[in-house]
Amino acid sequence: MNNLKQEYIKIRNSQKYPVEWFYSYFVENSGANIDLQSFHSLFSLGDLNSVLSFLDSKFELTKLEDSNGKFIKIVE
């Protein structure tokens, strides 16, 4: 899980969210049988901020923001 956590931190700090990473994470952790295209369709309908908050919490990470609430970076 440490490698997965490090990958996630890099993704969060780049602020580029490849759906393939989230798909792999979902399939590995849910055991669901869904194809990438269907997942992408459902993922695009969801609230990305909720997903990110859930994963930040799961990986026990802290989001740093400036005084205006603008994202700075994710730290352990």
5-59 confidence digits (pLDDT tens):
999 999 999 999 999 999 999 999 998 889 999 999 999 999 999 999 999 999 9
| 61 contact partners, CB below 8 Å, separation of at least 6 | 5, 8, 9, 12, 74, 75, 76
Does 74 score more than 70 pLDDT?
A: yes
Confirm whether pTM is higher than 0.95. no
Count of domains for the chain: 1
pLDDT score of 31: 81
Interval 20-31: pLDDT, tens: 999 999 999 998
What is the C-alpha separation between 44 and 21, in angstroms, rounded?
Answer: 14
**What range does the domain containing 27 cover?**
2-75
Does 1 score more than 90 pLDDT?
A: no
